[in-house]
Amino acid sequence: MSSFALSNVTLIDGRGGSPAERMTVVVENGSITRIVPTSQYDAATGPKVTDAAGKWLLPGYINGNIHLLDGIMIIGAGGVEYLARYEGSFSRVIEEGAQLTLKNGVTTVFDTWDARDPVLEARDRINAGTVIGSRIFAAGNIVGMGGPFSPDFNFTARQSISQSFANRMDLLFAAGVGAELTLLQEREFRARFRDYVQSGVDMVKIAISDHLISQLNPAAVRTYHTFPEKWVRMMAEDVHSAGLPLLSHTMAVPALELAADVDVDVMIHPTLTFNQVIPEELVNRIAERRIGVGIQPIADDYADRLLLHGHPFGTLNSPEHQKNERNFIEAGANVMVSTDAGCTSHDVMQDLGPDLQEGRPWSLGSDHFTWVKALRTRGLTAMGAIQALTHNVAEAYNKLDTIGTVEVGKLADLVLLNSDPLVDSENLSDIAAIYKEGVLVNRSALPNPQIVTAPRGTPVPN
């Protein structure tokens, strides 16, 4: 790990205060050791100085909800071929996704649904320094949901693929805590769940209500709770006792109320409620408790394009869902970047065509910038966008002691910008340099190797 000092920066430290001009930030052995006005820094006795005059320094970006194996695609077109093509290479695809995020300033990601064993393998390789990439915190499966070819995701694909392959994928992703949990006796259910909590995951995400697919069906007018309320409370107790962050997957207001009642740390897409406006009292309660609110907005112009092409995701940008987004922002909730993005197949991207490729909110690498652009239209301020991309995610996941702000004692995860992000949030993508734990990222070399992002027809590496 290198030691250096970035001098003459305008520091936006992520805590929400005014920027500090002409500052020097000293990094030693991967951590921030001093922050002083440049006029007070003695270059003769400290680490070598890099003059960053005219630049803005921010904490490394953090994404609170992604799927490094592309969860969005797995539930729709291209999912079968994606899993078949890269079976045996899942951990490397996950590493490729972590390199795409790091290349674009995201030094930490929270992968909230993925094949557990491959994502933990990739996490450990990155942590060990064997592979470069964004730092990964992983949940593995969403407790109570089946695998890719279960009714929770793409069950209809089973009509045209081998059952052996479908079963193998479902077992891999479910990791012992799939939909079969709902059929168990209480004692066996809790034992199975406790085993999962202790299986090496960094957080636990519970399916309090069912999945997105039903909401995209025009004939669907109902949702359901996955588990009895008593079981949800038991799971919350076990996760809290283990000291892990507790996440909720909800699709309706009653499920959101239960998630708040059991004190989840993070709510994934809480604004998606079958077009029901969340009551003001519940919004305020969530805001007051500083629960991480993982809003997943779709920009109006992109939603219009989705609808024009007959894509059902366009319906998620309803007036009611937009109102939920605005209400959380106005209530001062702990709004955090939560994109649901993944490392999408080139075939799927080609099928989308240029009109739906541009501004796509689920394309890993550009997703967090698209998220900010959409939420700014809902009332999020420029400083609020910076905090949603840094401080707020770390706070929600209880990682604020090490990441999320530029402060002495924290890891030197830093993004250096060429332009002022408070003047224009688009400048968050005008990156001059990225440091992860004090190491300068060679952006031009990422991702390496290319697997999903390789040109069409490239063989999958062994």
> Is the pTM higher than 0.95?
yes
Would you place residue 447 in the very low, low, confident or very high pLDDT band (cuts 50, 70, 90)? very high
CB atoms within 10 A of CB 128: 8
Q: How confident is the model at residue 210 (pLDDT cuts 50, 70, 90)?
A: confident
Residue-wise DSSP of 173-209: HHTT-SGGGGGS-HHHHHHHHHHHHTTT-S-EEEESB
Band (99; pLDDT cuts 50, 70, 90): very high
pLDDT (tens digit per residue) in 15-31:
999 999 999 999 999 99
The answer as to CATH 3.40.50.1100 being correct for domain 4-60+405-443 is no
Three-point CA angle 99, 89, 173, nearest 5°: 95
For residues 395-411, b (16+ Cβ closer than 10 Å) or e, as one string?
A: bbbebbeebbbbeeebb
Q: How far apart are CA 288 and CA 283, in angstroms?
A: 9
388-to-19, 98, 263, 359, 399 alpha-carbon distances in Å: 17, 20, 20, 19, 14
**Topology of domain 61-396, CATH:** TIM Barrel (3.20.20)
Give bridge partners of residue 66 from the DSSP assignment.
111
What residues contact 214, with CB distance under 8 A and at least 6 apart? Answer: 220, 222, 223, 251
- Reading the block at residue 83, the tokens are 């899993």
- What average pLDDT does the segment 344-360 reach? 92
Who wins on pLDDT, 455 or 131? 131
Sorting pLDDT into bands at 50, 70 and 90, what band is 43? confident
Tell me, what's the pLDDT at 46?
A: 85
Give yes or no for a contact between 32 and 435, defined as CB atoms under 8 angstroms apart.
no
DSSP state of 387: H
Ranges 77-86, 113-122, 163-172, 219-228: which has the least confidence: 219-228
Say if residue 449's pLDDT is above 80.
yes
pLDDT tens by residue, 153-189: 998 899 999 999 999 999 999 999 999 999 999 999 9
Domain ranges of the chain: 4-60+405-443, 61-396
Q: Give the lowest-confidence range in 111-125, 208-222, 250-264, 284-298.
A: 208-222
Q: What pLDDT does residue 1 have? A: 54
Q: What is 73-111 written as a DSSP string?
A: HHTSTTHHHHHHHHTT-HHHHHHHHHHHHHHTTEEEEEE
What is the predicted pLDDT for the residue at 336?
98
